[in-house]
Amino acid sequence: MAPPAPSVQEATIHSNYGEKYADVNWDELGFSLTPTDYMFEMKCFQGEEFSQGNLIPYGKIELSPAAAILNYGQGLFEGLKAYRREDGHIVLFRPEQNAMRMKMGAERMCMTSPSVEQFIDAVKQTVLANKRWVPPPGKGSLYIRPLLMGSGSILGVAPAPEYTFLVYTSPVGNYYKGIGTPINLIVEDKLHRATPGGAGGVKTIANYSPVLQALTQAKSKGFSDVLFLDAKTGQNIEEVSACNIFIVKDKIISTPATLGTILPGVTRKSIIDIALDFGFQVEERVIPVEELMDADEVFCTGTAVVVNPVGSVTYQGIRVEYKTGVEAVSQKLCAMLTGIQTGRIEDNMGWTVEID
């Protein structure tokens, strides 16, 4: 059990002068929950603004059975990471992007959200309080999960009377097995992840459980993940279950446009900027599934997966394989992105935020 939550200043001192690393086998770190010491909590009532939050020991939370998040799925989450550089400093990667995306999602879901400044400050406090859980350089990262939920009790369908903002963390390794190991996707042509006019373009909790049936079936057949098509025509690619997708054809990089049914990923945005900086032509547009099957290369992006090559795609029984390896475009983009995140490459983009 964690000790009583320290103040921010005490948390920083404890992290700086206490045990450097938690007792974790960093070489076998996967993408699963490893509870850390502290989490951050902040509450407000509907119609008010969030004010001062607090660090508390990581543990269970108390909710009414009538809480809006339990009954009506009124909740949002974000995902970002903290990295320990070779010089020992800890950095965040573009936290303001996650903060702004949560505000956008909160507006869609009729929720009160923390300000960008409150969001970033809460993330910083939580990471510093759990500093010993940030993996050594090259061994992984500290995954940060901000969660905004309608915690107030309500029986009828309406916005919750109270909101809770939580931030917790977990050290993680690779989302898929093996660093840069190509994954095998299957295209789902019956079930859909999002519909026009819905909430597919925001990171609401309700977007994720609907993919589980297709994902479970795909994994039972030996596939790594599922690629969903648009619900309107069933002809255009949209998203993998928890990440964005890109195709490469004749050195042109294309990704589905975010038109309300696709989440505007922070890693997606960063890879587009890096690709443009490298001189690639990048297109955000509608991509028919036939173009996917004719691509030279395919890769996925996301906070959890980072940049992961796709080795094959199966659609209606037809399997197509793609270029992977050190000469692949995705490898070049991934090397630049992770180099910036971990400090191996100078951050000329201004994306990283040093917090310790």
Q: What integer pLDDT is reported at residue 6 of this predicted model?
A: 47
Average pLDDT over residues 60-67: 97
Q: What integer pLDDT is reported at residue 177 of this predicted model?
A: 77
Compute CA 233 distance to the chain's CA centroid, rounded to the nearest angstrom: 27
User: DSSP for 232-262?
Assistant: TTS-BEEEETTBEEEEEETTEEEEE--SSSS
First-residue to last-residue Cα distance in the chain: 25
Q: What integer pLDDT is reported at residue 19 of this predicted model?
A: 55
Tokens 């965040």 label which residue?
A: 92
- Which is more confident, 52 or 122? 122
Q: Convert the pLDDT of each residue in 278-324 to its tens digit.
A: 999 999 999 999 999 999 999 999 999 999 999 999 999 999 999 99
Q: What integer pLDDT is reported at residue 15 of this predicted model?
A: 41
Sign of CA dihedral 165, 170, 174, 175: negative
Q: What integer pLDDT is reported at residue 14 of this predicted model?
A: 44
Average pLDDT over residues 177-187: 88
Q: Convert the pLDDT of each residue in 253-268 to its tens digit.
A: 999 999 999 999 999 9
Q: What integer pLDDT is reported at residue 179 of this predicted model?
A: 67
Beta-sheet strands, E only, within the chain: 38-45, 54-57, 75-77, 80-84, 90-93, 141-150, 162-172, 183-188, 225-229, 237-240, 244-249, 252-256, 281-285, 297-302, 306-315, 318-321, 352-354
Tokens for 348?
């000329």
Prediction pTM value? 0.93
Give yes or no: 20 in active site: no
Answer yes or no: is pLDDT of 189 > 50: yes
Spatial CA neighbour of 164 closest among 174, 153, 156: 153
* Residue 26: pLDDT band with limits 50, 70, 90: very high
Alpha-carbon dihedral of residues 112, 114, 115, 117, nearest 10 degrees? Answer: 180
Distance CA 204, CA 224 (A): 23
| Active-site option among 81, 124, 131, 203 | 203
Q: Convert the pLDDT of each residue in 140-173 to its tens digit.
A: 999 999 999 999 999 999 999 999 999 999 999 9
Q: Convert the pLDDT of each residue in 317-343 to its tens digit.
A: 999 999 999 999 999 999 999 999 999
Answer yes or no: is pLDDT of 37 > 60: yes
Q: Which residues on adjacent β-strands are paired with residue 80?
A: 144
User: DSSP for 16-76?
Assistant: HHS-SS-S--GGG--SS----SEEEEEEEETTS-----EEEES------TTBHHHHH--EE
Q: What integer pLDDT is reported at residue 9 of this predicted model?
A: 40
- Which is more confident, 4 or 104? 104
Alpha-carbon dihedral of residues 286, 224, 211, 172, nearest 10 degrees? Answer: -110
Q: Convert the pLDDT of each residue in 200-241 to its tens digit.
A: 999 999 999 999 999 999 999 999 999 999 999 999 999 999
